[in-house]
Chains A and B, each alone.
Chain A
Amino acid sequence: RKEVEQDPGPFNVPEGATVAFNCTYSNSASQSFFWYRQDCRKEPKLLMSVYSSGNEDGRFTAQLNRASQYISLLIRDSKLSDSATYLCVVDTGRRALTFGSGTRLQVQP
């Protein structure tokens, strides 16, 4: 079983749609959680950290459920510029990151 699992997609959505990505992790000792965004042929960039209380940054909302070992990312009012691969990332406490395989989002006009 992979340490971090994501639906690879692609998710093809129209502009303005709301889309949700899910991720599960296997190591219950994991301490920190993140969503990164990776554009084609670019390095990953931090989108947001994920906290148990949930956190929101503009159109993006992230949630963490430790009991279910489940992380989610919600994007509201999708823009063309949101098209990218979204990586679920977990830090098990070793200060080294474990990446999911990524979920590809394509927002269409």
Chain B
Amino acid sequence: SAVISQKPSRDICQRGTSLTIQCQVDSQVTMMFWYRQQPGQSLTLIATANQGSEATYESGFVIDKFPISRPNLTFSTLTVSNMSPEDSSIYLCSVEDPQGRTQYFGPGTRLTVL
């Protein structure tokens, strides 16, 4: 499976600020995904990011709040903008396996907003 890294692994931020999370994969992948896991909850898909096109956002998530970049086939960023305490979550990126059957996840970024 692909090796996926995320930076930062954790951060504590003040409300009103923004944080950009990086996701790096050790192989080229077509589709990358960003998920959120709120405390005590399961994962919720934020958006799908394909290289060379706009990200596709799920219901309840908007580009102004969660802008995503996908400059190449091994890298993506998710920005959490104008943060509030409700944004405190773990943010995970994932990639499809080469056969397109399932996904592998990065270690996550644990965000706390004060």
A interface, CB within 8 angstroms of B:
32, 34, 42-46, 49, 87, 91, 95-102
Contacts and interface: CB of A to CB of B under 8 A. Distances in A.
B58 to A, nearest CB: 8
Majority secondary structure, B binding face:
strand
Interface of B: 31, 33, 41-45, 48, 58, 92, 94, 96, 100-108
A42 B104 CA distance: 13
A84 B107 CA distance: 16
A43 B106 contact: yes
A96 B48 contact: yes
Nearest to A102: B42
Contacts, number: 44
B101 A49 contact: yes
Contacts of B44: 99
Contact of B102 (A46, A99, A102): A46
A34 B102 contact: yes
Contact of B45 (A42, A44, A96): A96
A44 B105 contact: yes
